[in-house]
């Protein structure tokens, strides 16, 4: 994970500590949940240590990956669970 344990609980609720919605993006291996209001993010690197290091050292790269559609929105199915990617 990229942030503190207490934000992990909020991530499971899909809300940020600031109270706004977290938006999920992924590529099948990596997963990022981003708050557009305060800029905090949480995610999993899927075993890719370089992705975690990159996200911590240069978080603007995450926005580039979203813009370039490398990371795409994670959508929930009708039962509220994320689909298998």
Interval 46-81: pLDDT, tens: 888 898 898 889 889 999 999 999 999 987 544 445
Establish if 45 belongs to a structural domain: yes
Report the greatest alpha carbon distance in the chain: 36
Interval 28-47: pLDDT, tens: 888 999 999 998 888 888 88
DSSP state of 18: T
Give the total number of structural domains in the chain.
1
Asked if 42 and 6 count as a contact pair (C-beta separation under 8 A), the reply is: no
Establish if 42 belongs to a structural domain: yes
Quote the pTM value.
0.71
What span, in angstroms and rounded, lies between the C-alpha atoms of 84 and 58?
28
Establish if 68 belongs to a structural domain: yes
Establish if 84 belongs to a structural domain: no
Range of the domain at 49: 5-73
Report percent pLDDT > 90 for the chain. Answer: 21
pLDDT value of residue 43: 86
Task: Identify the three-state secondary structure at position 17.
Answer: coil
């Amino acid at each position: 994970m990229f942030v503190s344990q207490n934000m992990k609980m909020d991530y499971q609720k899909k809300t940020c500590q600031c109270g706004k919605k977290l938006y999920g993006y992924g590529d099948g291996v990596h997963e990022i949940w981003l708050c557009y209001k305060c800029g905090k993010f949480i995610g999993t690197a899927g075993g890719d240590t370089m992705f975690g290091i990159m996200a911590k050292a240069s978080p603007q790269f995450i926005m580039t990956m979203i813009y370039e559609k490398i990371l795409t929105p994670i959508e929930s199915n009708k039962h509220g669970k994320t689909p298998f990617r």
